[in-house]
Amino acid sequence: MLFKTFRRTGSAMATVKAFRAQKLQFPRHVYCGPNKGEVIWGELEHSRVIWIIHNPRYAGVFCFGRTRVRKQPNGGHVFARLPREEWTAYIPDAHPGYLTLAEFDENNRRLRDNAYALGPEREKGPPREGPALLQGLVICAVCGERMTVRYHQVDGRSVPTYACQRRGIERGERPCQVINGGNIDDAIGKLLVESVTPMTLEVALTVQKELESRVDEAERLRRKEAEGAQYDAELARRRYMKVDPDNRMVADTLEADWNAKLRALADAQDRLERQRETERGLDAEQRARILALATDFPRLWNDPRTPDRERKRMARLLLEDVTLQKAEDVTLQIRFKGGATRTLSVPPPRRGRATSPEVVATIDRLFEEYTAGEIAALLNERGMTSGTGQPFQRNIVTKIRDEYGLKDRYTRLRARGLLDRQEIAKRLRVDPATIDIWRRAGLLPAHRYNDKGECLFERPGPDAPVKYKHHKKARGRLAASS
């Protein structure tokens, strides 16, 4: 049941949650202590799922030497996992297993994909419950990073927003792009349904057959290469076995040559096995199942009972990734499995009750002098409301700014030549803390660009404060104001 649940959910943590939701216990063998040798039952843990999925014995494999232990100078030990070809023993089909070796490799590939979701490349993780169809598949056309998913409520339903915030998290910069994903998901779903037709599948199978003939020729050549490497290794072995053991110089040379031939043999066999695993052809049953997708896929996709998680899995079977570029319209560069590409242009979504042009123009004008929170207060004083008839709040003003492509206050002030805290401190040759003192004392003209009190400064003129000369004056003003 653990393996079936993992294949269904695609995540080790989701497997743990499924067992706990059903209140299922899991056995564990005690290897030490007073209860050594007993089997105890308890809640399934995440580490246990990972250990089982990584263990090839559940696939009917007898193995030994999967790790290497090395002692450090300080007395500690370092454990290193070894690749399969370096294990001491590896015997497939040594006993009946819970799953096949191919399923074992597929489970481990899923775990690697899930781990990449938290790594530096932010690869796609397992499909989750939210409605965002392209979760983990979207790439920002500006910086090339993976885009994350956020959700907002529209008329009581969750609508995805794809945001590129990697640089914002690491460097404190503004997100490259924040794109409403409602229209994007609809366009991708329509494209997938149109793509899976009997004609397109027949063409794909014809191309696959041609590729299989090329694969057979490549396999024949790699097999010849492996046979040649096997002959060279056997010849090197015979030469080494016939050498006089007392002639150490010749023996060492022949031994090194034998080791080199063995490494070449291992590389040739590894290339042959990798090709067999990754470039296997399709049998008649698989071709029939692929053609059946032409009728099954649209029915499953359009069925309202199909969970969002399953639609995401179907999309991942067909799509490699989707690159988004936000301009007047959103441009989608779609890359299918196998290398085919498509380009779509999708208009940005508008709410059913859009914000009136008068309100949008007023917000655009007010951003020249006020922050988002101040603009919300001014609009409420004037009796204006949002497109949904609600009073304005800071986040509503910010959302309207992003949806209609208005410039934020920071961008406008920078365009007018204003300086940030570090830049003006460098120009006046003082510490940034001194800039804060002078600003609070009114010695430096400053303009707030957000509701956190952060400011940009006008370029210093001839009457700009001078270090030490205005320091006591600034402190006096602060003391009088307090």
Confidence check: pLDDT of 190 > 80? yes
Residue whose tokens read 């080494």:
240
250-263 mean pLDDT: 86
Taking the C-alpha atoms of residue 133 and residue 301, their distance in angstroms, rounded to an integer, is 12
Confidence check: pLDDT of 130 > 80? no
Between strands 89-91 and 178-180, the pairing is unpaired
How does 297-323 read in b/e, with b if 16+ C-beta sit within 10 Å?
beeebeeeeeebbebbebbbebbebbb
Task: List the Cα angle 316/320/323 in 5-degree steps.
Answer: 115
Between residues 380 and 475, the one the model is more confident about:
380
Cite the DSSP H helix spans in 172-197: 182-195
Contact residues for 111 (Cβ-Cβ < 8 A; gap 6+): 12, 50, 53, 54
Which of 35-44, 58-67, 141-150, 428-437 is the most confident on average?
Answer: 58-67
Q: What percent of the chain has pLDDT over 70?
A: 79
Confidence check: pLDDT of 471 > 50? yes
Confidence check: pLDDT of 134 > 80? yes
Task: List the Cα angle 22/26/27 in 5-degree steps.
Answer: 160
Q: What percent of the chain has pLDDT over 90?
A: 12
Strands, E assignment, 249-346: 319-326, 330-336, 341-346
The per-residue pLDDT for 55 is 93
Confidence check: pLDDT of 118 > 90? no
Confidence check: pLDDT of 473 > 60? no
Between residues 75 and 10, the one the model is more confident about:
10
Q: Is the dihedral of CA 183, 188, 191, 197 positive or negative?
A: negative
Confidence check: pLDDT of 290 > 60? no
Burial (CB count within 10 angstroms: exposed 0-12, middle 13-18, buried 19+), residue 188 = buried
Q: Residue 195: how many CA atoms within 13 Å on its side-chain side?
A: 20
Confidence check: pLDDT of 180 > 60? yes
Between residues 474 and 311, the one the model is more confident about:
311
Confidence check: pLDDT of 108 > 50? yes
Contact 418, 409 (CB under 8 A): no
Confidence check: pLDDT of 120 > 50? no
Contact 330, 322 (CB under 8 A): no
Confidence check: pLDDT of 300 > 70? no
The per-residue pLDDT for 126 is 60
Of the candidate ranges 131-140, 199-208, 455-464, the one whose mean pLDDT is the lowest: 199-208
The per-residue pLDDT for 374 is 92
The per-residue pLDDT for 236 is 87
The per-residue pLDDT for 123 is 47
Of the candidate ranges 34-38, 101-105, 156-160, 196-200, the one whose mean pLDDT is the lowest: 196-200
For the chain, the domains span 1-60+95-126, 128-242+280-349, 357-406, 415-481
pLDDT band at 295 (very low <50, low <70, confident <90, very high): low
Which of 8-12, 187-191, 202-206, 374-378 is the most confident on average?
Answer: 374-378
The per-residue pLDDT for 52 is 94
Contact 414, 423 (CB under 8 A): no
141-145 mean pLDDT: 85
Number of other CB atoms surrounding residue 436 within 10 Å: 15
124-132 mean pLDDT: 66
Q: How do residues 319-353 score in pLDDT, each as one tens digit?
A: 888 999 988 888 999 988 767 788 989 887 655 45
pLDDT band at 202 (very low <50, low <70, confident <90, very high): low
Between residues 278 and 81, the one the model is more confident about:
81
The per-residue pLDDT for 428 is 87
Average pLDDT over the chain, rounded to an integer = 79
Contact 164, 176 (CB under 8 A): yes
Q: Residue 326: how many CA atoms within 13 Å on its side-chain side?
A: 25
